[in-house]
Amino acid sequence: MTIQLLIIEDEAIVRKSLKNMIEKNRQAITVYTAADVYEANEYFQLAPIHVLILDIQLPEIDGLTFLKKLRQKQPDLIVIILSAHADFSYAQQAIDLHVEKYLIKPVSREALLEVIDQSIKHVKIIPSADHASIQQALNYIHTHFNEPLTLQELSEIVHLNTSYFSSLFKQSVGVNFLQYLTNYRIKEAKKLLLEHNYSIEEISIRVGYKTSKYFIQIFKEYEKITPNQYRKQRHSKDNGVYPK
């Protein structure tokens, strides 16, 4: 099974350097990067992240505040802090949040790789056959998200007992089937809102909701604003002109 690692670092040069270094020296690790916690949330909603490398000084929401909220959903996530802050109070907060290691920048390549190697030993490895089934399920969701989908239907497609598949899915992805499906639909809806001038009714159908009323309800529950408000806010910088 491939280990999936996410780096949250606001400095682009550092972010790219860390990604390249890890990928070059540890081919079995897939590395994702995010500049802030909002971008990071997209990965947590759509991919099973096993290891997180987290900076403390981030725009808008600092790393430790983000980690406190993240721990409620992912208590077993392996976290490595990589920060310029050597203050003991930060280290103490990190310990309280069950951080695997607190590293001070700059850190050597050897030191970081050693910590990563030690960390991934604690990752719960899913049998390859089960991993293949989950990947098949994810691929099916990605191509059929706009259709009615149920947990039972998906478990039958991958030839697994529904109860076992449900447990395996959450263990592998980090969220349950319905949460993942909803997250993916909302992600696709946001793309349609920004890239096309479709009506809300049409977008709701395109992402798998029978009525726009229910789509708006779900969208607002996840994004805290309505689809129209999201579209207007994101396009305000472009003077309301939709991208071609």
Q: How far lies 48's CA from each of 9, 35, 168, 219, 236, in Å?
A: 19, 19, 12, 23, 33
pLDDT at 242: 42
Q: Where are the domains of the chain?
A: 3-120, 128-238
Instruction: Assess whether pLDDT exceeds 70 at residue 119.
Output: yes
Contact 226/190 with Cβ under 8 angstroms? no
Looking at the domain 3-120, which fold is it? Rossmann fold (3.40.50)
Mean pLDDT along residues 121-125: 77
- Tens digit of pLDDT for each residue in 150-176? 999 999 999 999 999 999 888 878 789
Instruction: Assess whether pLDDT exceeds 90 at residue 144.
Output: yes
d(CA 237, CA 241): 9
d(CA 85, CA 98): 18
Contact 80/103 with Cβ under 8 angstroms? yes
- The backbone torsions φ and ψ at residue 111, rounded to the nearest 5 degrees and listed phi first, read -65, -45
Find the length of the chain. 244
| Cis peptide upstream of residue 106 (ω within 30 degrees of 0) | yes
- Tens digit of pLDDT for each residue in 58-91? 988 899 999 998 888 888 889 999 988 888 888 8
pLDDT-based confidence at residue 48 (cuts at 50, 70, 90): confident
Whether 128-238 and 3-120 are alike in CATH topology: the answer is no
3-state secondary structure of 30: strand
CATH of 128-238, one of 1.20.120.1770, 3.40.50.300, 3.20.20.70, 1.10.10.60: 1.10.10.60
Pinpoint the alpha helices (H) of the chain: 12-25, 37-46, 63-73, 88-96, 109-120, 128-144, 151-157, 162-173, 177-195, 200-206, 212-223, 227-235
- DSSP one-letter string for 101-163: EEEESS--HHHHHHHHHHHHTTS-PPPHHHHHHHHHHHHHHHHHTTS---HHHHHHHTT--HH
Contact 5/50 with Cβ under 8 angstroms? yes
Range with the poorest average pLDDT among 11-25, 51-65, 125-139, 211-225 = 125-139
Instruction: Assess whether pLDDT exceeds 90 at residue 129.
Output: no
Percent of the chain topping pLDDT 70: 94
Mean pLDDT along residues 44-67: 88
- Tens digit of pLDDT for each residue in 186-242? 999 999 999 999 999 999 999 999 999 999 999 999 889 999 999 998 877 555 444
* Predicted TM-score (pTM) above 0.75: no
- Between the two ends of the chain, the Cα-to-Cα distance in Å is 40
Q: What is the mean pLDDT of the chain?
A: 89
Instruction: Assess whether pLDDT exceeds 90 at residue 51.
Output: yes
pLDDT at 237: 52
Mean pLDDT along residues 116-140: 84
